[in-house]
Structures are given as C-alpha cells and as structure tokens.
Homo-oligomer: A and B are copies of this chain.
Amino acid sequence: MKPMDSEMLREQGHIMVDFIADYYKNLEDSPQDFPVLSQVQPGYLRDILPDSAPDHPEPLKELLHDVSKKIIPGLTHWQSPSYFAYYASSTSVAGFLGEMLNAGLSVVGFTWLASPAATELEVIVLDWLAKLLQLPDHFLSTGNGGGVIQGTGCEAVLVVVLAARDRIMKKVGKNSLSQLVVYASDQTHSSFRKACLIGGIHEENIRLLKTDSSTNYGMPPKSLEEAISSDLAKGFIPFFICATVGTTSSAAVDPLFPLGKIAESYGIWMHVDAAYAGNACICPEFREHIDGVENADSFNINAHKWLFANQTCSPLWVKDRYSLINALKTNPEYLEYKVSKREEVVNYKDWQISLSRRFRSLKLWMVLRLYGAENLRNFIRDHVNLAKHFEDCVAQDAHFEVVTTRYFSLVCFRLAPIDGDEDKCNDQNRELIATVNSTGKIFISHTALSGKFILRFAVGAPLTEEKHVTEAWQIIQKHATKFIHNKKN
C-alpha cells in the first residue's frame, strides 16, 4: 500500500463523485430521509464508533456505508433546499470542483515561490471581483492596496484590527494599548469583539453603539460622533470603526457614507464587514448598499456565504497593504528566495495569521468562469425574490408580522403579539420555532432585536426553489394555528 497511487485515486474518486452526486439527488428527491436540522442527541456518535483507530485498512465501501448510516444522520443539511437558518454557506458545482482541484493539486501558497500561480491568480481574481463590486481603485493590486483571501470573515476582521492597532501604536507608543478605543454597533458580528480582545484591546474600550428599529438597526452616525468626542475628551485614543453591511441578526446596513466621513475626519481606520450582503453588491441594484466604501480602509465579503464558493473563502481588500504587512510579516531564513523582496512580488503569508495556505483563489476563479458574472447575479436575484415571496406570505397573514425592512434575502418576522403581551409573544415564537425545526422538514433560526425573540428566514441554499419556500411557509403557518387558535379563545 502506498499513500498515493493515481489509479487508486481514479477508481475511488469516481466512487466518491457518485456518492456525492447521489447525496444531492436524494436531498432533492427524498427530503423525508434528510431532516434539515439533525435530530440526534448529544453523544450519539460515541456510542456507535469504536474507541480507537483501526490497525489495518478498511475498505472505502465500508467507510461510505458508515457515512450514510452514522454520519449523515448527524448532519444538519446546509445544502438542503429547505435550509433557511443563519446565513447559508452555499456551495455549487463549480465551488465543489474548485475544492477538488485544489485538494488534487495540493500545493502550498505561503510565498510567491512556493507556487507562483497560487499567489498570482489570487491577485488577479481579487482584482476581478473588486471590479464586479465596483470597489474603488485603491483596493486594486495596481495601487497601494490589494486583495487577499482570508480563511474566514473572523480572520479578515482580526487582521485589519491588528494592522490598525500596530499603525496607531507606532504613533502613540506601545504602552498606550489600554487607551485604544474601537467602535461598532451592537449588531456587529461577535467576531469583532473577539478580534479586539485577541489584540489586547481592553474589553471596556470596545464601544458597541446602541441601535434600534428607528434606523432599522443601522448604526446612527450621531452616536458615533458623540462617542468619539467623548472618548477624546477623556484621553482615549479612537483608532478603529467596524461598520457592517448586512448584520448577522437582521441584515441591517450601517450608513457607510456618513460613518466614513467621521472616520476620515478623525484619522480612524474604518473596516466594512459585508460578509453576507456584500456578495449581492455584484448586482447593480444592490450596489448602493456599499456606497461610501470609497472612504473605508478595508472591506470584506464571505464568498462562502453567498457567492457559491464552498467553505471557506473570505476575500478582503485593504487600501494600504503595507499596514497589513507591517503587522503580520515574518522573515525566516528558510523561506527566503531570490526575488522575495521585490516590490511586485506578493508573499501572502505576510497578509494573514497563518503561514500555510492552500491555493485559495482557484475555486473563486472557477466559480467566476464556470458561471460568469451574469449567472451569479441571477442566482442572487433568485434568492432575493424568494425571500420577497416569503415576506409577502408573512405580510398577508394578520397573525404574523415582518419585523425589519428587508433589503436582501433575509426576512425577520414573528407571530405577532396578542394584546401587546411581549413576553407571551416571545414564548410562543420560541415554541413555534422549536416545533417547526423538530419536524426536520425545514430549518429556520432566531435572533433577538430590542429584546424581542425574532424568527429569521434566510434564503441562500443552492437548491432552493419557490416550492420549497411556499412549503416552508405552509409548515410554519400550520404549526402556528395552535397559538392562533388560542388567540381566538
């Protein structure tokens, strides 16, 4: 037995392709066999797997049998057409092929030399994507900026917090860490707070500005301005603003234009986290939501969320690549090579947390080429239209209410309160979602907005069609009758 044998790879690879193609076929044709939200109990797997690794090889057939019988029942099927939870993490045929080819070529791309194509394609493809998003020229590789694919949105925000931190520390001295202050809204993804804590920013210096329904949960520029003034007066050093386009709870949009003006006037780094909604901005009709990105220092989207790129793929663009490189570079002798210091040579190890990195741009390149920009726009439009369809259903049922203004493919809604009883309403919505998800027929998730328990219906899985949305609504309505009936009594 050898670890690599091209004919064995061929034979077993074909078996695996059929296994995966069958999975997608069955996911569509036999949904009853695939509860969208896994129905297993904690510890289920320990009971049915051995305690230790086998000494001797086991046949692929047996392994795939175990995948079907033991693993798949423990999966929550993110690619199911009836998956409407969190935000989707959408794959596609092209995204899948991209992962295959990446795993097949299996090169490492930490420096240019380690595989020049891995680096150069990333530079090029991120320029392509920047153009589709109509990002300002300073984010292109041709200026001082450039793009890099981070592993995740969390890594993206972490590296820019570090770049901004080290930039300001150079000015104010490294003993000023405890005075550094950052800003975001209370809707900002938890990864922002985590990134700041990782970077040593004091927890009490993380200002999460309050939002409410009056701005549809977008950050009020006035609050930012006031917070900065007040902090400056107290001797704090404001250095970072994280704005979000498409928050995780409700897809709220922070107003980039006024926020960017404030950031600029104080010399503060502004990052725009558009992990989910940024993908939609390749469509002209959604592009307005990132108007003002011209004033940002950095911007990221998660192409694994809604650009059909399969996990993981988080393009990040920065205005000034040197601030990133200054914060993250390493120079071990064993990675030096003749042209490593040349200005035009990119070494992505210096743009990220880790050294090792896969050929990250390959699948993004394949997604863009195998679909073309126009199809990708249409995939996104289809999802938005499906969300609109769901929103219409909700709006037409007096027992329910749509809770926030919908911009993209997420609908925030709930069973409406009866006689203004918010506590009871929260309980009923809690019960409703538990019941609905326990059917295994659909999976939706929840959030809290202004203390209210809210249901989230997010469209984004690659197999979802109108019939799945209609059916989801029928399931929700059906399980809601219990509460509606109670209402009438």
Contacts and interface: CB of A to CB of B under 8 A. Distances in A.
A16 B100 contact: yes
A7 B21 CA distance: 7
A420 interface: no
A75 interface: yes
Interface in A17-49: 17-25, 28, 37-38, 40, 42-46, 49
A348 to B, nearest CB: 13
A337 to B, nearest CB: 9
Contacts of A44: 116, 120
18 contacts: A10-B17, A14-B14, A20-B100, A23-B105, A38-B115, A45-B120, A55-B373, A57-B370, A58-B372, A74-B118, A78-B115, A96-B106, A151-B354, A190-B331, A191-B354, A198-B353, A334-B448, A353-B353
A232 interface: no
Given A155-B354, A344-B43, A310 B120 contact: no
Interface string A460-473: 00110000000000
Contact of A190 (B60, B73, B311, B330): B330
A487 to B, nearest CB: 26
A456 interface: yes
A334 B249 contact: yes
A92 interface: yes
Interface string A55-92: 11110100100010011111111110000001001111
A312 interface: yes
Contacts of A235: none
A418 interface: no
A350 to B, nearest CB: 10
Interface in A439-489: 445-448, 456, 462-463
Given A5-B93, A6-B22, A58-B370, A355 B190 contact: yes
A400 interface: no
A107 B12 CA distance: 22
A209 interface: no
A177 B153 contact: no
A371 B3 contact: yes
A167 interface: no
A352 to B, nearest CB: 9
A439 to B, nearest CB: 16
A371 B58 CA distance: 7
A164 to B, nearest CB: 13
A308 to B, nearest CB: 5
A77 B93 CA distance: 26
Given A304-B356, A334-B249, A372-B57, A77 B4 contact: no
B446 A358 contact: no
Interface string A331-346: 1111100110010110
A334 B445 contact: yes
B19 A101 contact: yes
Contacts of A353: 154-155, 158, 194, 198, 353
Contacts of A199: 198-200
A74 B368 contact: no
Contacts of A172: none
For the complex of A and B, list the 10 residue pairs with the smallest distance between their C-beta atoms, beginning with the closest.
A200-B200, A74-B117, A20-B104, A99-B103, A10-B21, A13-B17, A4-B462, A6-B24, A3-B92, A190-B330
Nearest to A94: B3
Interface stretch (A128-136, A212-220, A223-231): A128-136
